[in-house]
Structure 1
Amino acid sequence: MKSRRYSEVDVFSATAYRGNALAVVHDADGLSTADMQQFANWTNLAETTFLLAPEDPRADYRVRIFTASEELPFAGHPTLGSARAWLESGGTVGAGGVILQECAAGLVPVRVTDDRLAFEAPPLTRYEPIEEARLRRVASVLGIERADILDSSWIVNGPRWMGIRLASAQQVLALRPDPGLLDDLEIGVVGPYGPESETQFEVRAFFGGDAVWEDPVTGSLNAGLARWMNDTNMAPQNYVASQGTVLGREGRVHIDIDDDAIWVGGHVTKCIEGSVLL
């Protein structure tokens, strides 16, 4: 083992400890996949990332993204958190205010502004209607009637998200899913606020599998929702979604669509800096 720089950041919140936490191990070259997976299991956060030298000469750095149980080809809040950690450790912004992250899903541009970072959403790898039998199962898990689901779509971009649209943000906030029924489902739910609200949509993300829980703020889900809702004329080109409200968080996800490119952005706040023996 050797000492490596270590960071924990809070993503999608300008206030520390109100967004989604991310652990970042710097200078991770030399670690095996098993080493990374074991450490991610130990941190027990939604995701832990490892910064490495890029293999693609166009990239500024390479990142590997792990949950407690598996490696992901891409994820949203780990992308923004890793980019901020890389910048804080001495990385510099390239031409046009963009840095280029290499991950298993490919190269992901990250735009840097004075107060926020934003990643360009990768293409969806599955984007089609959800079969009716599965929708009935989703409604049962969420504790709602099938008729309450106004629209739905697969919006897979790494995580295997199913997008579910309800009539209002209040319906989204009222959901109390049955964890015993989640199994392997990954469900993202969205509903609109009224015109006077600070944010335009409320989003919630529910996972099954090895761990049953609700994600505080989810970049990949919001990226898929933005693509789907823009294509179906259910959202404007620019909006802000809130997430994590039920969990006592204040996640804010900024969506900007520019020439059909979807930029998913938010604040990243430093929380912990130090070193780890790994």
Structure 2
Amino acid sequence: MAFILPFKQVDVFTNVPFKGNPVAVINCLNITEDQISSKQMQAVANWTNLSETTFIFKSSHPECHYKIRIFTPLNELPLAGHPMIGTCKAFLEFTETKNVSKMYCESKLGVIELSIASTGEISFKAPPADIEGIAAEASAGYQKSLGCEPVASPKLVRVGPKWVVFLVSDAEKCYGVNPDFAKLKHISNIFEHTGLILAGSKSGSMTNFEMRAFAPAEGVDEDPVCGSGSLALTRYLHDHFKYSETTQINITEGGRLGRDGHIKTCVSIIESETSYSTGGDAITIINGTISI
């Protein structure tokens, strides 16, 4: 049976059309999850050819407003950053929900809390993020594929996607790198990494960074503006700089792809509890339907 389902394409981490990172969102609230297969959802994600495509279902979790499924052109992901924000924006519009400050989404990593500011910015609190070193062979391979050296040891950060964070001397160095995507893909596949987050500080700042996200092993050579990558970078920076109080980090991304993404992340330190969040603006570009 074919279904005609509501469809939106939302531009995330921007308030200027076509300058952020688009996510396709399909509204499946009026069908059950067993009425559409993972194979069908993967086919749609391959067709949209965006870094991610999401599907909204009713959640059986009493706390959650909806359930999300997230697909790259090649695989399903347990969590991804800009799709979380764009899907929340789409859900609010699909359901005509207004004047809310909190939403809860069921994901493959559990319940995700989202906050909606009075300005319309949407952010979400990340699950705990593990950080660890990587093999010397992997580090050397990434250096060769990027053609530059890090200023600190690259580390693997698990935020759903498994990002290796690679910090270079400054924002200009980050912006100017021309990766060998075939080598990047090869290294990522060998070590089962999602990809690599490259970042450099602006004018020596500890809180302002240029970032780029490379995931050729997932079918995305360079993601325009990457939410999960910003969480991985923020976790890495906290490990590197040892922030002692709640700190906001401002990240720009996408210039090499003609975008102008702006991400706000936060390291929240309350007594002995530390958490991480990421967020920004989102605007709907396309409204329509899709036949599946």
* TM range, smaller chain: over 0.9
1:215 match: 223
Cα gap change, 1:201 to 1:72, in 2 (>3 Å): same
Rounded to whole Å, the distance in 2 between the matches of 1:101 and 1:169 is 34
2:191 match: none
Rounded to whole Å, the distance in 1 between the matches of 2:78 and 2:177 is 29
2:115 match: 111
Rounded to whole Å, the distance in 1 between the matches of 2:92 and 2:102 is 12
Rounded to whole Å, the distance in 2 between the matches of 1:242 and 1:181 is 25
User: Is 1:16 aligned to residue 17 of structure 2?
Assistant: yes
Q: 1:224 aligns to what SS in structure 2?
A: helix
Contact 2:265–2:279 at 8 Å: present in 1 too? yes
Given candidates 54, 58, 68, the residue that maps to 2:73 is: 68
Shift of 1:239: 2.1
Given candidates 259, 270, 274, the residue that maps to 2:284 is: 270
Shift of 1:179: 1.8
Rounded to whole Å, the distance in 2 between the matches of 1:37 and 1:66 is 6
Residues 97-108 of structure 1: pairs in structure 2 closer than 5 A: 97-108=101-112
Residues 101-250 of structure 1: pairs in structure 2 closer than 5 A: 101-113=105-117, 114-124=119-129, 126-144=130-148, 146=149, 148-184=150-186, 185=188, 186-194=195-203, 200-209=208-217, 211=219, 213-233=221-241, 237-250=247-260
Contact 2:234–2:249 at 8 Å: present in 1 too? no
Q: 1:128 aligns to what SS in structure 2?
A: strand
Contact 2:11–2:21 at 8 Å: present in 1 too? yes
Cα gap change, 1:182 to 1:276, in 2 (>3 Å): same
Shift of 1:152: 1.8
Rounded to whole Å, the distance in 2 between the matches of 1:210 and 1:127 is 21
Rounded to whole Å, the distance in 2 between the matches of 1:104 and 1:72 is 8
Mean CA deviation greater in 40-49 or 183-192:
183-192
Rounded to whole Å, the distance in 1 between the matches of 2:203 and 2:98 is 38
Cα gap change, 1:110 to 1:210, in 2 (>3 Å): closer
2:3 match: 2
Contact 2:67–2:106 at 8 Å: present in 1 too? yes
Cα gap change, 1:202 to 1:141, in 2 (>3 Å): same
Cα gap change, 1:77 to 1:210, in 2 (>3 Å): closer
2:37 match: 32
Mean CA deviation greater in 236-245 or 9-18:
236-245
Rounded to whole Å, the distance in 1 between the matches of 2:5 and 2:218 is 29
The one-letter code matched in structure 1 to 2:25 is V
2:261 match: 251
Q: 2:85 aligns to what SS in structure 1?
A: helix
Cα gap change, 1:195 to 1:141, in 2 (>3 Å): closer
The one-letter code matched in structure 2 to 1:129 is G
Gap runs ≥5 in structure 1: none
1:49-82 deviations in whole A, cap 9, x for unaligned?
0000002111110010001111100000100000
Q: 2:203 aligns to what SS in structure 1?
A: coil
Contact 1:117–1:265 at 8 Å: present in 2 too? yes
1:241-277 deviations in whole A, cap 9, x for unaligned?
0011111100100012333221201100110001111
Gap runs ≥5 in structure 2: 189-194
Rounded to whole Å, the distance in 2 between the matches of 1:12 and 1:191 is 19
Shift of 1:210: 5.7
Number of residue pairs matched? 272
Mean CA deviation greater in 240-249 or 256-265:
256-265
Shift of 1:93: 6.4
Contact 1:93–1:112 at 8 Å: present in 2 too? no
The runs of 4+ residues in structure 1 deviating greater than 3 Å are 91-95
Contact 2:173–2:200 at 8 Å: present in 1 too? yes
Contact 1:179–1:212 at 8 Å: present in 2 too? no
Rounded to whole Å, the distance in 2 between the matches of 1:248 and 1:234 is 33
The one-letter code matched in structure 2 to 1:253 is I
Contact 1:151–1:166 at 8 Å: present in 2 too? no
